[in-house]
Structure 1
Amino acid sequence: MNRPARIDTDPAQPSPWFTAGEFLRMRDAGAFAGMRVELVEGEIVKMMPAYLAHGEANLTLAARLLAAVGQAGVIGTDVLIAVSDKTMRAADIVVAAQGAPRNKALSANDVMLVVEIADSTLAEDLGAKLADYASAGIAHYWVVDLKGQIIQCMRAPHDGGYDDRVVVRFGEELTLPDGRRIVGL
């Protein structure tokens, strides 16, 4: 039988809706089946389905990364990354270390590169997501701007941002974290 419950909160100390641990337990229990969601500062945020251009760019770049990285890392798409105890981001493409866990959210230490594909999400990808990934210590972050046909490659996270940013046009070479190069989109 269900009984009413009261949750006491101190308004002077607002708490997030959910912690990363609670979010992961809900995810593992199937609460988000058929949905793409992230946890952002304690709030569960539904992500919009992507258009074909987003999917094509995601697949093309993931395939190029897979060919270049080989046995040095693992490539995944739509991968959960634990950014903080209140934020879990779902990255479009991740290059992770070989020993990264396969059946749980990745930590920043597992991640070598995060790529976000932006068709309608450029402001978010260069704003809140950039700050989250930098704060978590993600060393390399790329934002693929489909409309502008450029890829912003960032490295050296510092104070919620990145110290080094290079803009690469589609068709030009990208430098991977280990120094190898691939042709971008």
Structure 2
Amino acid sequence: MTVAVDPAIQQKPLSVDEFLAHYGGDNRYELIDGEVFDLEPTGLHEEVAAFITKKICVQIDGAGLPWFVLQRGLLRPSNTGMTAFRPDIAVVDQGELAKEPLWSDQSILTLGTSIKFVAEVVSSNWQNDYARKLEDYAALGILEYWIADYAGLGGTRHIGKPKQPTLSICTLVDAEYEIQQFQDHQTIISSTFSDLKLTAEQVLRAGR
């Protein structure tokens, strides 16, 4: 079911509780600083997300790690009452869930320590992926963050000029992300999944 963002509701910033009451049952929306964003999951967007999910699930299973990929949950940073991210892909450490106060009843994470890896597939709201989420995921202590910009939508300051499909892999070092960009046939380097044997093109052109 798709729920349209109600302009009447968005006349004022929403709290997380208000967002959950109106949009919590729909995977299409997330809340950033009180504003509701439509994640715009196009077919190609979903193919890229599914490809990444498939490949990292193989790595998790092969290594016998107590991790899983979040399916429908939200990431609600504990230091804000007006933001609830819905990552395209988030790898959760099952051993950390006992520390999560909202997990059992609401499938909501609040602690960055519960998340081993996160990825966003870029849509027209690309500013959130390259700026706000980059800052917040780093502040939460999430060790690795992928920005899969399969359509080359990001600004030139992020992906260069001329713009082209780019996979940005952000690795946390001293509380800030160091960013490596991969394009075309370049082999990607992941600190979390070091055995991945993929090129940027394989990820960004998944299903095509």
TM score, norm. by length of structure 1: 0.74
Aligned residue for 1:121? Answer: 125
Aligned residue for 2:183? Answer: 169
Aligned residue for 2:196? Answer: 181
Q: Which amino acid aligns with 1:92?
A: D
* 1:158 to partner: Cα distance: 5.5
Unaligned runs of 5+ in 1: 1-15
* 1:174 to partner: Cα distance: 3.5
From the superposition, tell whether residues 36 and 119 of structure 1 become closer, same or farther in structure 2 (CA, over 3 Å): closer
Secondary structure, aligned partner of 2:84: strand
1:150 to 2:166 alignment: yes
Aligned length: 163
Identity %: 18
8 Å CA contact 1:134, 1:158 repeated in 2:
no
Counterpart pick for 2:40 among 49, 55, 65? 49
8 Å CA contact 1:64, 1:182 repeated in 2:
no
Q: Which amino acid aligns with 2:115?
A: V
8 Å CA contact 1:81, 1:89 repeated in 2:
yes
* 1:85 to partner: Cα distance: 2.4
Aligned residue for 1:76? Answer: 70
**Hey, what's the Cα distance between the residues in 2 that align with 1:157 and 1:17?**
33
Counterpart pick for 1:134 among 138, 144, 147? 138
8 Å CA contact 2:29, 2:37 repeated in 1:
yes
From the superposition, tell whether residues 82 and 32 of structure 1 become closer, same or farther in structure 2 (CA, over 3 Å): closer
Q: Which amino acid aligns with 1:125?
A: D
Aligned residue for 2:8? Answer: none
* 1:157 to partner: Cα distance: 5.7
1:93 to 2:89 alignment: yes
Secondary structure, aligned partner of 2:142: coil
Structure with the higher strand share, 1 or 2: 1
Q: Which amino acid aligns with 2:148?
A: V
**Hey, what's the Cα distance between the residues in 2 that align with 1:35 and 1:96?**
18
Max Rg structure: 1
Aligned residue for 1:105? Answer: 108
Matches within 5 A, 1:10-21: 17-20=13-16
Tell me the alpha carbon deviations over residues 39-88 of structure 1, each in whole angstroms, 9 at most, x when there is no partner: 222x1413143111101001111000101111312112454112232221
* 1:109 to partner: Cα distance: 1.0
**Hey, what's the Cα distance between the residues in 2 that align with 1:31 and 1:165?**
33
8 Å CA contact 2:75, 2:86 repeated in 1:
yes
Q: Which amino acid aligns with 1:94?
A: A
**Hey, what's the Cα distance between the residues in 2 that align with 1:35 and 1:95?**
17
Between 82-91 and 140-149, report the one with greater CA deviation: 82-91
